[in-house]
Structure 1
Amino acid sequence: MIRKVIFIFVSLLLLSCEKETIPKPYGDLRLEYPAPKYQKFEKNCAYTFEYSDFAKIIDAKKPCWYYMTYPKMKAKVFITYFPVKGDFADHVKESEKMVYEHTIKASSIDTKSFQYPERKVYGNFYELKGQSASNLQFYATDSTNHFVTAYLYFDTRPKPDSLAPAIDYIKKDLMHLLDTFEWKN
């Protein structure tokens, strides 16, 4: 009797192993955001630009300071404005100081200078790689009267792999913002 049970058990075991099992591959999280539709930012400030309808503009502490928020990404771009009154070099130094304070966590910092002489818009765009608290920063100026800075922050711990799709999306938005940036006077 025991031999019959063992025979049946071994037979079932051999018959059930006909197909080779294949492990499932790891799935990648795919974050997709809507194609941006741009709208004009026009407030009672010295500058104007176009920004994505995926973002919202919220007033900050001082006049012409704003948060451009991306609620679904839990991201904010903090935009500040300073009139230049003989302190242009100080504004540039302070802006660069804000960038290079992140060298502790950033694995690299890519700097791109931009110039739009027809609109008198000049500046630098910084992309900080790695586990930096701020991933994108820029300043724009006419070098005589106006100075604008912007810093991207997420309401989460810096995780470059997880945040990469959101950073890429916002980077394109900020590049468009700079392409359309103008001084009013």
Structure 2
Amino acid sequence: MRNILPLLFTILFLSCKDDILPKPKGYLSLTYPTKSYKKLDLERPYSFDVLENTQVINEANNWLTIKYPNLKASIDITYRPVENNIKELLTEAEKLVFKHTIKADQIIPKDFINPKKRVFGSIYDITGNAASQIQFHLTDSTKNFIKGSLYFYAKPNYDSILPAVSYIKEDILRLIETLEWKQ
């Protein structure tokens, strides 16, 4: 009986522990509003579709700020007329993109060409903790030049903002695809 009592306590003590199970992976569940677009209703030398639940802020010199208040982000649009300086404008736009090389893990360029609407340009996906995650420029190569940059009003942490970047990238692609120059 003396030998059995310690054995029973040991069995009882060991049997009361919970099994250690790996935790299931948790996924962040983000919901964004359903997208609905409208034409830009400001007088500009250009026109494109913007998301209805954004705030479009009219800036001087045909510039715009498209704010996403719920995401604490904005797309800053600058406009410059082409006056025999297209090469200078393109070089300046690319310099601004590649300033992010220090913090970026990767910069992926993609060209955009729509000869029917005379819209030519590039979009740059910037991965990593850079200040801007998407930049683009568009031109008709003779009269108009637009540059756009996506910024978040927070310290850049790419993993955290990636879902919001993907959400806004759809809007930037819609902007590019619907851009029309006014003559």
Question: TM-score w.r.t. structure 2 length?
Answer: 0.89
CA drift of 1:47 comes to 0.3
Distance in structure 1 (CA, Å) of the matches to 2:14 and 2:150? 60
Deviations 1:9-41 (A, max 9, x none): x49954971753535435232222122101110
Counterpart of 2:31, as a letter, is E
CA drift of 1:175 comes to 0.4
Deviations 1:68-112 (A, max 9, x none): 011111001100111111111111111001001001111111101
Counterpart of 1:32, as a letter, is T
Q: Which residue of 2 aligns with 1:54?
A: 53
Aligned residues: 179
Deviations 1:106-129 (A, max 9, x none): 111110111111111100111101
Q: Which residue of 1 aligns with 2:42?
A: 43
Q: Which residue of 2 aligns with 1:89?
A: 87
Counterparts of 1:1-185 in structure 2 under 5 Å? 10=9, 14=13, 17=16, 20=19, 22=21, 24-60=23-59, 62-185=60-183
Distance in structure 1 (CA, Å) of the matches to 2:104 and 2:10? 61
Cα RMSD of the aligned pairs, angstroms, is 2.1
Deviations 1:124-170 (A, max 9, x none): 11110111110000001000000001001100111111000000001
Counterpart of 1:124, as a letter, is S
Secondary structure of 1:172's counterpart equals: helix
Secondary structure of 1:162's counterpart equals: helix
Instruction: Tell me whether 20-29 or 148-157 shows the greater mean CA deviation.
Output: 20-29
Which runs of 5 or more residues in structure 2 are unaligned? none
CA drift of 1:51 comes to 1.3
Q: Percent identity?
A: 40
Secondary structure of 2:177's counterpart equals: helix
Which runs of 5 or more residues in structure 1 are unaligned? 1-5
In the TM superposition, structure 1's runs of 4+ consecutive aligned residues that sit over 6 Å from their partners are none
